[in-house]
Structures are given as structure tokens and as C-alpha cells.
Amino acid sequence: MKEIYIVATLDEAPVDYAALEEELESDAVVFTGGEDGWSFRMMSSEGPIEVRFEARGEALGETPDLLTGSPAALGLLRRARGFYRIGFETEKAQPPLIIVEALVIARLLLERAEGALLDVSAFKVHGGQDVEEIVDLDFDIRDHLNIHVQQLDDGATPLWVHTHGMEKFGARDVEFFHLAEEDLQAAESFLYELCADMAMGQGPTPGDVVGTSEGNAFRLEPSETARTRLLGVPLSAFDGHEGPFLSIVSPDGRHTAGEVLRPYRDRFEDEPAARSEALQALATRLLPSFKARFLRRGLMEPLTFLVRASFETHPEDAPVGEDLWAEILSWDESPSLVARLIDGSSRTTEWRKGAIVEIAEDQINALIVTRDGTPMDEAELRHLLEGERPS
């Protein structure tokens, strides 16, 4: 049984187990108690989950530098006195369901005691609100991973980029060598997509050459063999990261697979100013008829109304505006609407895919309507909004 999560609470006394057991609504829960704490084992649909409580006489104090999380969540962890250790088997690949079930237990605990959740496998700390959103919203691999960057030499491509957190999915973490600073955003995007596939059991088989739509190729190789071919990098550089990892290499096994990042780099290029101005002008001009058409939409019409607005994110502490698309759910006579994000923030999890948000009309900088999932072009959109008005 591998310890994956720790719920750290300010209260050094355990929560009322009877109330927790009632919430779990499972007949397959076995509880044991003692003077020093209590524990229980729950048989989930995907396997057993064990929870063990223990108290500390003193607060935890300073946390390791590798841990990431909001200042509030890290502060709660440092002051914690009670700890619930949550573990499950990770020997084989498994779907995220058992992880969600473990997180449901964590949420129940955090609803009863102030604290934070430490993802031991990912060196990541979540606050209570984070845990609720992770459980309730669409699966986002970024909630379960940390990507670390380490410089290995003084060359033009000195960076080693690797993940932490895949162990809980019964998979190895993944690593990239010989990357440059300008490759980092593309590498993060690539690793998130690859690890999301692996978490769902749909990742490539190690050793098999994988082709991309851009005509590039790579393969995954166990780090035990791939790292031995790194030139000028002593194995001591991996102290604390001995593995096992999967290394991304070229089809012939060299550490030159960075070319697969080329299509990912394009995603982070700024939208041309002329394009942004044109979309804003169109949205401003069509917004009244767009709103009117949304309000009189038919119940069975295969139409989806989408708007884009800028949301403040903090990828490196400083605020950055990021344009995100959202599907309108409700809109009345007030100057704001309620919508569901269809693409979460690309750099942080502050705005998650599936989150319900309120958007002021004057924040909208682009709009579109899809019919049966296909976006309308400008002529079709104008016809829908202006040509179908009631006489």
C-alpha cells in the first residue's frame, strides 16, 4: 500500500469517525482505533484505500522547497498538527477512479477540519476549495502533476524537464533532456497531454516509435538505459531522482527529441493585434443581437453560444491576462452572464475547465455560435443573428 495523500489539519484530534462512515455510504469499511489514533480500510470499486490518522505534538514547521501550492495552503501545512495518511496500491496502471475516491475521502475530512491536502507523489499542496473543484470538475492532469526543471550543464540546451505525480496512476514519471529556456512552455504542454493519455491507460508502449501529425516521431525508453547515453552528465546529477522514469528520446534512442515540440510552440504565440481588434469589433457590434438570439433559442436547437473573455492568472506570481472560451448557461437582463469554461487556463489551474464563471458583458472580446459542434463563419453568424429576427 503506497502513501499518496496526506490530509494535514490544524486540529490534533481526529474527526468523528461515525459521521465520516455515514458519509462514505459503503458497507466495505473496516475501522480500527487505538490510543494513538485510528485508521480504516475501504474497499472501493478499484481496490482498497487505507486511511490512518496520527497526531504530532508540535506543528510541522518549514516545508521542503520542492512543494508547490498557494501561500494559504502551504501555511496550513506548516501549522498542521493532525495527519490523515491516505494510501492505495500503485503496482499496476489504473484509471483515475480510485484517485477520485481517495480525494472524496480527503474532501470529507477537510469539510470537518481546517487544513490542506499534500499530494506526496507530486510534491503539491491543495487547499480545501481546490480539492472540491478537483473532485467535482472535469479531469485535469495538471491537478495531479508537478513539472520540475533543472539545469544540468552550461550549454545551449541545458535543461532537464521532468514530471512528478504519475506514480499514483500506476505509471512512471516522464523526462525530457537537452531543452532550452524557450522550449519550456511547449514542453509543459506536451508533457501534460502525454501524461493525460498515460493516466487514462492510453499512452504509448515504451520502446514503440510514436509518430505525430506533424511528421515527427519519438519513443519512450526506461531511464535506466536512456540516461547512460547522456554525454557529460554524471549520474550523481539524478540524486533523489533515481527513477524509475520514462525518457523521451528520438526513434534511434538519442536525446534529440525536442523537435516534437515544434507544433506546441505555436500555441504560445501571441494572437496578432489586428486579429484581436477585429474579433473585439465584431463582438461589440453583434453582442445585442447575439444576446437576443440566445434568449429566444429553442429547447431542441443544436446551437451552442460561446464567448471569450480575459481572466487574470498568476503563472509566475505576477498577474497575466489569459483569454478563455466559455459556453453560456444563463443570461438575463442584467449586464452579465453565467457560463462554463470549455478550456481551462493553459499555465495554471486557477481557472479550471468546467468551472462555472460570471462574465460581465463589457469583458467579452470575441463570440461565436456552433451548430452541431461546428463553429459558424462570420456570414453564417450574421445570418443567424440578424436574418432570423421575428418580424
Q: How confident is the model at residue 171 (pLDDT cuts 50, 70, 90)?
A: very high
Q: Per-residue pLDDT averaged across 238-267, rounded?
A: 81
Predicted pLDDT at 389: 53
Reported as a single tens digit per residue, the pLDDT across 194-213 is 999 999 988 899 999 988 76
Place of cell 494535514: 8
Q: How many CA atoms, within 13 angstroms, populate the side-chain half-sphere of residue 202? A: 6
How many Å apart are CA 268 and CA 95, to the nearest integer? Answer: 30
**Alpha carbon of 362 to those of 87, 89, 189: distances in Å?**
48, 50, 31
Is residue 366 very low, low, confident or very high in pLDDT (cuts 50, 70, 90)? very high
Here the cell at position 8 is 494535514
Spell 234-260 as b/e; 16+ CB within 10 A means b: eeeebeebebebbbbbbeeeebebbeb
pLDDT at 391 over 60: no
159-171 burial: b if 16+ Cβ within 10 Å, else e? bbbbbbbbbbbbb
Q: Rounded mean pLDDT of 141-156?
A: 90
- Average the pLDDT over 265-279 and give the result: 80
- Which range has highest mean pLDDT (112-116, 135-139, 379-383)? 112-116
- % residues pLDDT > 90 (the chain): 50
Q: Is the pLDDT of residue 214 over 80?
A: no
Q: Where are the domains of the chain?
A: 2-137, 144-267, 273-386
* pLDDT exceeds 80 at position 225: yes
Arithmetic mean of pLDDT, 270-280 = 89
d(CA 376, CA 384): 9
pLDDT reported for residue 25: 65
- Kindly report the average pLDDT of the chain as a whole number: 87
Please compute the mean of the pLDDT values over residues 234-258 and round it to a whole number: 84
C-alpha cell at 79: 501549522
Give the pLDDT of residue 268. Answer: 61
Residue 388 has pLDDT above 80, yes or no: no
Residue type, 207: G
Higher pLDDT, 390 or 320: 320
What cell was used for 3? 502513501
Report the pLDDT value the prediction gives residue 26, as an integer from 0 to 100.
61
Give 273-386's CATH code, choosing from 2.60.120, 2.30.30, 1.10.150, 3.40.50.
2.30.30
Stretch 271-297: mean pLDDT, rounded? 92
Q: Per-residue pLDDT tens for 10-67?
A: 998 888 877 777 787 666 677 776 555 688 888 877 788 999 999 887 777 766 778 9
Instruction: Name the 3-class secondary structure at 22.
Output: helix
- Residues 6 or more apart whose CB falls under 8 angstroms from that of 322 comprise 310, 311, 312, 313, 345, 346, 347, 351
Flag the least confident range among 165-169, 196-200, 232-236, 289-293. Answer: 232-236
Kindly report the backbone phi and psi dihedral angles of residue 336, in degrees, each rounded to the nearest multiple of 5, phi listed first. -150, 160
Q: Which residues contact residue 360 at a Cβ distance below 8 angstroms, ignoring those fewer than 6 apart? A: 335, 336
In the numeric block, the cell 510534491 is attached to: 123
pLDDT of residue 22: 77
Do the Cβ atoms of 21 and 109 come closer than 8 Å?
A: no
What cell does 220 get? 519512450
> Which pLDDT tens digit goes with each residue over 77-132?
999 999 999 999 888 877 788 999 999 999 999 999 999 999 999 999 999 999 99
From 184, 160, 181, select the one nearest 241 (Cα to Cα).
Answer: 160
Comparison of pLDDT for 36 and 168, the residue scoring more: 168
**Residue whose C-alpha cell reads 486540529 in the numeric block:** 11
User: In the chain, which ranges are E strands?
Assistant: 2-9, 29-34, 37-44, 47-55, 82-88, 115-119, 124-127, 146-151, 159-164, 173-179, 210-211, 217-222, 245-249, 303-316, 318-331, 336-341, 356-360, 364-371, 374-375
Backbone angles phi, psi at 8, to 5 degrees: -105, 120
- What whole-number distance in Å separates Cα of residue 172 and Cα of residue 141? 14
Q: Model's pTM, two decimal places? A: 0.79
Q: Is 245 within 8 Å of 166 (Cβ atoms)?
A: no
d(CA 328, CA 322): 18
| pLDDT recorded at residue 37 | 63
Kindly indicate the confidence band of residue 170, based on its pLDDT and cuts at 50, 70 and 90: very high
